A = this chain, B = another copy of it.
Amino acid sequence: MIQKHKGILTVVSGFSGAGKGTIMKKLLADHPDRYALSVSATTRRPREGETDGVEYFFRSREEFERMIADEALIEYAEYVGNYYGTPRRYVAEQLDAGRDVILEIEIQGALKIKRRFPDALLLFVMPPDAKELKHRLSGRGTEPVDVIASRLERAVKEAEGIGEYDYLVINDVLEECVEEVHSIIKNEHRRVTRNAERIRAMQEDLASLNSGPQRGEQS
């Protein structure tokens, strides 16, 4: 009677170093049938150890612009001279199959998704406090001072957009954080606004239960 629930388009953003990637990796490992991770396309060059189709689909500028022209991306943006975008087909297929699709994208793309798909669920991952954020921004140990400074500057800008998100996720203890993300998405399926069909079915069933026997008694 109730149609299979459609998946929820879930956008996860957060400051650089907030641990989004680690959280998502564990979330997908813990619940492989429930979630699907969207892989972005980009024109930036692969880093050491990155594989096409895993971290990103690595595309030339010409290929990327053809995808834009073909409307094969649900959002894209240019950042520091490179394109980044979300291929449409995989997202649509997975949502239809009832899987919650995770997009791990930056704030600019996240807000585009929210405007275009008001049903999307937007999560913002934060460290417990700003001091810890600074520690994490600089904590990889492989980046020069000016890179850290530019990340911090970017974080200030990103923080201005947090108000557009739906939930804050505080990344303190990884396991708890992953469980929290899972439970936020799971509960979101119980939102009244996402259950219009189920509610209508219950209303109709109730009405027919109500009218059925009563008419019988009256006749």
Contacts and interface: CB of A to CB of B under 8 A. Distances in A.
Interface in A117-134: 124, 126, 129-131, 133-134
Contacts of A124: 192
Contacts of A183: 183, 186-187
Contact of A184 (B149, B160, B162, B187): B187
A159 interface: yes
Contacts of A134: 209
Given A159-B206, A187-B183, A198 B1 contact: no
Interface stretch (A29-37, A46-54, A73-81, A166-174): A166-174
B169 A190 contact: yes
A162 B210 contact: no
A192 B167 CA distance: 5
Contacts of A187: 167, 180, 183-184, 187
A214 interface: yes
Q: Main SS of the interface on chain A? A: helix
Interface of A: 1, 124, 126, 129-131, 133-134, 149, 152-153, 155-156, 159-160, 162-170, 180, 183-184, 186-187, 190-192, 195-196, 198-199, 202-203, 205-207, 209-210, 213-214
Given A156-B203, A170-B190, 6 more contacts: A129-B202, A130-B206, A149-B213, A167-B187, A168-B195, A183-B187
